[in-house]
Amino acid sequence: MDKWDPECRDKVEQFKHSNKDFLSNPLIKEFLADEEHYELFTEAVCSPCDEVQERINEKFKEFYFRIRFISYVSSTLYFHGINLDKKIRKHDQRFPLQLDQPINNESETTLKELIEYKENDSIDSGDVLDFISDPVLYKAIKSLTNNQQDILSLAYVKGLKDVEIAALLKKTQQAVSKSRKKALNTLKSILLKSDEEKEL
């Protein structure tokens, strides 16, 4: 924050003081722990504008998708019988988003407007790869077949169910479900191998 002037630093400190509960949210803390995200957050508090709001919005959507996606892939190692919707609900309860707070006492702009996330929102392409910044996960998804990538994009970016994906791709629901599970198993194996190599 050295590049920010004293007035900006004061605004950020005032925001922190006024929004302790919000900033203590584990999800928000993890998001702001990233230097780039914190810079955008500071800019949004000190000099809010449409461009900054759009940038932080896209960064938060990418971050939140990655958290949910990796959380799901990891959790399936231990909870094979639980469906995705139940996992997402548990995750959302653990990390409740409280964004309906003004950024400061002098503004009506809320954090929800600055870092808005919509359940089925996606960038124009709707490609799962466009949401992934982690190089290991990106490379893992690229290793999948085009069909598997399409299914993951429709399932986890568009939020479609297997039966809806089957109708779009003109495949059976069983074939879609099998391809999706095989793709997730492949990703799990690659991510686990990467984690094991980091520990060596």
Task: Note the pLDDT tens digit of each residue in 168-182.
Answer: 999 999 999 999 989
Nearest Cα neighbor of 48 from 3, 1, 110 is 110
What integer pLDDT is reported at residue 187 of this predicted model?
Answer: 84
Integer Cα distance of 16 and 4 in angstroms? 16
pTM of the predicted model as reported, rounded to 2 decimal places: 0.46
**76 and 166, same domain (yes or no):** no
Residue 95 has pLDDT above 70, yes or no: no
Integer Cα distance of 2 and 7 in angstroms? 12
Does residue 88 fall inside a structural domain? yes
Nearest Cα neighbor of 74 from 194, 197, 200 is 194
Q: Which long-range contacts (CB under 8 A, 24 or more apart) does 43-50 make?
A: 44/103, 44/114, 44/115, 45/8, 45/11, 45/12, 45/15, 45/103, 45/104, 46/4, 46/7, 46/8, 46/11, 46/12, 47/8, 48/103, 48/107, 48/109, 48/114
Nearest Cα neighbor of 84 from 180, 150, 149, 173 is 180
Q: How many domains does the chain have?
A: 2
Integer Cα distance of 29 and 200 in angstroms? 29
**184 and 101, same domain (yes or no):** no
pLDDT in tens, 123-171: 344 677 876 767 888 888 899 999 999 998 888 777 788 999 999 999 9
**77 and 150, same domain (yes or no):** no
Which domain range does residue 14 map to? Answer: 6-114
Does residue 119 fall inside a structural domain? no
**51 and 90, same domain (yes or no):** yes
Does residue 18 fall inside a structural domain? yes
Question: Considering 85, 114, 143, which residue would you say is the last residue of a domain?
Answer: 114
